[in-house]
Amino acid sequence: MNGQIAEVRNYVGGKWCAPTGEQATEVWDPATGEVIAKVRFSSRSDIDTALEAASAALPGWRRTPANDRAQWLYKLKGLLEQRTEDLARCITEEHGKVLSEARGEVRRAIDNVEMACGTPANLQGRFAEDIACGVDEMLIRQPVGVCLAIAPFNFPIMIPCWFLPYAVACGNPFVLKASERTPRTAELLFELLDALDFPPGVVSLVHGGVATSELLIDHPDVRAVSFVGSTPAARSVYARAAAAGKRVQAQGGAKNSLVILPDASIDAVATIAAESAFGNAGQRCLAGGSMIAVGSAGDPFAEAISRLARSRTLGNGMVDGVELGPVITADSVQRVENLIDQGGSDGADVLVDGRGVSVQGHEKGFFVGATVLDHVAPESTLAETEVFGPVLGIMRAVDLDEALSLINSGRYGNMACLFTTSGRSARQFRYEAEVGNVGVNVGVAQPMSSFPFSGWGDSFFGDLHAHGHHAVEFFTQTKVVVERWP
């Protein structure tokens, strides 16, 4: 960058501007450990200005016909498709995931924009004629008001697009507080939005940290809050926003289990489980961090997944052939390695050890290799903690009933997957697993944009989830009208 470290910008009232807060942080390329950008946090004045612009935009945007609002999203979809490679490379540079994963993330963002283009049909209400003599009743949907999303670092374009297109399609101004770890992708997204000439204030971007988020949540003009992050943060956001009477959807952390029955193909399941556990360097809320091997499946699976973990190519995600990129920061490396240490101390067998690895030419990068631990005790720290790194812990169970008991005894409820050839076992699993996203013979049960991203227990706080028909319900409020015309 020629020695010049660029500062990311806010986008407020249809214009780019520099944040004016005193606090600032740096953005690293996780593969090299080099600083690639600087983030200055937004001040209270910056936040007030952004929300004043959003509030001023609400009346006009609400009165814009829904079909007209959708036209901006059709154009955004086209721009995202044109700039997919630029977006993917930006994601890889500041997050670390391999380029193919980054391209897949952009595709998921586009899917949500495409889904939101159909919002006008989903905004239709209900009508009942003659509920009494000469009296009609109708239900209509209206915008909820200014909407805020606080996004995490691990999917810097997909997760904002879980919320942004639906919110604006429903007639709401939208404010994004991007992750301070991956702000450049959000800035690039808003460059595309800026090119579409949205009315000033309809879409806004502000940068900052926890204090910024709290100021945004507390602001009286914000009526709905969407959040994705750790469970402690999600619980705090939910409590803070709900106490102020705001609508909230807060996605928290997870500890997802994959279950393999003896009738499943060991090699096929190992391949799928490796992608679930090690993909995105394990930094996703749908990572399969625990494998519950039932009966005789245990030892063969442990051998198969260990072979795959040892052979997984670690390196810079920009390089062809690399299968596992770095984690997000040096602190993340230390945290993940500490959890591996703890797993060994608690009695698990470390079959493949990703601690202390180095990539030639990237010695300052934030790397953890694919790691497998066997015979993880259900009550151990590793079994109960979301690692958010490329680590798979294997637990053992005598039958499906015990596997389900292990899943349902946990405090999270985001995802669980079963591998089997038995329809009976699959139905029992689908029926009894106390999680919001269930997979059968898939390693990542991620809902498509037409279905809500469900989550139970400590993985979600709220009532209406991201995207699908829940999005329209979350970003609108219903009004019932009873009419008599004498």
Summarised one tens digit per residue, pLDDT across range 374-388 is: 999 999 999 999 999
Region 405-410 average pLDDT: 97
**Residue 225: strand, helix, or coil:** strand
Query: What pLDDT is recorded for position 2?
Result: 46
458 and 253 Cβ atoms separated by less than 8 Å: yes
Residue 359 phi, psi dihedral angles, 5° rounding = -110, 125
462 and 250 Cβ atoms separated by less than 8 Å: yes
Total Cβ atoms within 10 A of residue 68: 9
Query: What pLDDT is recorded for position 3?
Result: 57
Judge whether residue 1 has pLDDT over 70. no
Q: Write the pLDDT tens digit of every residue in 142-181.
A: 999 999 999 999 999 999 999 999 999 999 999 999 999 9
Judge whether residue 336 has pLDDT over 60. yes
pLDDT confidence band for 5 (50 / 70 / 90): confident
Pairing outcome for strands 257-260 and 415-419: parallel
Q: What letter represents residue 276's amino acid?
A: S
What percentage of the chain reaches a pLDDT higher than 70? 99
Looking at the annotation, which residues are catalytic? 285
437 and 430 Cβ atoms separated by less than 8 Å: no
Region 106-122 average pLDDT: 97
Q: Write the pLDDT tens digit of every residue in 309-328.
A: 999 999 999 999 999 999 99
135 and 482 Cβ atoms separated by less than 8 Å: yes
Token representation of residue 90: 């930006």
Region 212-223 average pLDDT: 98
CA distance 289 to 296: 21
Model confidence, pTM: 0.96
Judge whether residue 253 has pLDDT over 90. yes
Which positions ≥6 away from 121 have C-beta within 8 Å? none
Q: What letter represents residue 171's amino acid?
A: G
261 and 426 Cβ atoms separated by less than 8 Å: no
Residue carrying the six token digits 């991956």:
182
1-5, 33-37, 114-118, 277-281: lowest mean pLDDT where? 1-5
Region 250-264 average pLDDT: 98
pLDDT averaged over every residue in the chain: 97
Which positions ≥6 away from 415 have C-beta within 8 Å? 254, 256, 286, 288, 435, 436, 437, 438, 439, 444, 445
